[in-house]
Amino acid sequence: MNSFSNFGFGSETAFIPQEEMLEVQKHQKKLTIGIPRESDKYENRICLTPEAVEILTLQGHQIILENGAGNRADYNDLQYSEKGARIVKSPKEVYQSEIILKVAPPTEIEIEMMNAQQLLFSSLHLTTQTTERIQSMIKKRINAVAFEYLRGEANHYPVVRAMSEISGSSSILIAAEYMNTENKGKGILLGGTTGVTPSEVVIIGASTAGFYAARTAIGLGATVKIFDDSIYRLQNAQYFIGQNVYTSVIHPQVIERALLSADVVIGALPYEDSSSYVVSEDIVRKMKDGAVIVDISIDSSPCFETSIITNHGNPIFRKHDVIHYCVPNIPSRVSKTASIALSNVFVPLLKKISESGGVDQLIQQDYGLRNGIVIYKGILTNQKIGRTFGLPSQNINLLIASL
């Protein structure tokens, strides 16, 4: 018997030398990443923490940080320099970097400091954006990526999800704050206590933010009702939160009854579903005096007809004796937590850009990054932005195929 028969070889098997297979190493591009100090006085977050900077600098990337950029997130210049960042005083020097990471949308002055083909990562905030600013970035031929449109694993939006988790949890704490007597609220404890009925919380939208708001409210002892047009999202909420939450589709009469008895109402429509308000001014007028509305959806589109964008310096207003909190960047209230969450998204993404040989190469391969691009080589590539501001746009996939 042939000695190789146990391995499935016949007696006439020949062993032919094969070419040696060598592992092909990808060319890793060393990146220059600039982090400017935010000019928006209400923006306290930063995209990379000192720990994130250390990970990137150890891989050979250069981080240029404007002095004081991390102060509002409780990170000082020394912490960054010890982790390998180069601290500079001039914002112009930061804006010479290949990649710019900032949280707030760029101002006209910041756009002026940027260069053609530079890659900008920032939020877009459509509700606060202007046609002139979009046109300035197009004219500069900046490659702009909006946080809101970046997709990650499982086809979700990693930055939106991370910030939504924070916004959802924070919204309940904010509502509790404005219900107390010191803030001229109703003087009610959100969760109630022995012998006292717990407060009623209504959440419009079984989104990530809505889920985290519900979880926090229940943890504090409140009664929670969630409304959404998606049965699938309601089923998820019911499954993960449990039977101690009431769920319903958005039916005008049902939601109106719930709002009339609510102490707190959270507007948390999923980002992609936020196209028009759900609660009319007539319903708000009928709500309890001193009730609190927190409109998380103000980032994309108001959930309430009475909502008007506010800021951290002047966060609330009263309409029909109902307190409205309509700040677009709620996570900025907890800037350190939010900055760590942002770092968790951007470090892996920057590493992928490097390993791919550059952003142009990764755009070809990575649908998630491609989906986040709103301006590429001076061309608007997001149709929603084009419709909003009346500007011509092109499909990013067709554009890349033609280049």
* SS3 assignment, position 193: strand
Asked if 208 and 169 count as a contact pair (C-beta separation under 8 A), the reply is no
- Measured CA to CA, the distance from residue 109 to residue 91 in angstroms comes to 11
pLDDT of residue 19: 52
For 387-399, write each residue's pLDDT tens digit.
989 999 999 988 8
Please list the ranges in the chain whose pLDDT falls under 50. 1-14, 21-25
pLDDT of residue 306: 96
List the end-to-end C-alpha distance of the chain, in Å, as a whole number. 62
pLDDT of residue 173: 97
pLDDT of residue 9: 40
Task: Domain 32-155+334-402: give its CATH superfamily.
Answer: NAD(P)-binding Rossmann-like Domain (3.40.50.720)
pLDDT of residue 155: 82
Q: Where are the domains of the chain?
A: 32-155+334-402, 165-328
pLDDT of residue 124: 84
Asked if 52 and 339 count as a contact pair (C-beta separation under 8 A), the reply is no
pLDDT of residue 1: 45
The b/e string for 134-164 (b: 16+ C-beta within 10 A; e otherwise) is bebbbebbbbbbbbbbbbbeeeebbbbbbbb
pLDDT of residue 274: 54
Catalytic residues: 125, 299
Which class in CATH covers the domain with range 165-328? alpha beta
For 280-327, write each residue's pLDDT tens digit.
999 999 999 999 999 999 987 889 999 999 999 999 999 999 999 999
Q: What predicted TM-score, i.e. pTM, was given to this entire model? A: 0.89
| Pick from 105, 61, 76, 112: nearest CA to 91 | 112
pLDDT of residue 145: 96
pLDDT of residue 126: 74
* SS3 assignment, position 72: helix
Contacts of 217 (CB under 8 A, 6+ apart): 172, 190, 201, 203, 224, 264
Any alpha helices (H) in 287-334, and if so which ranges? none
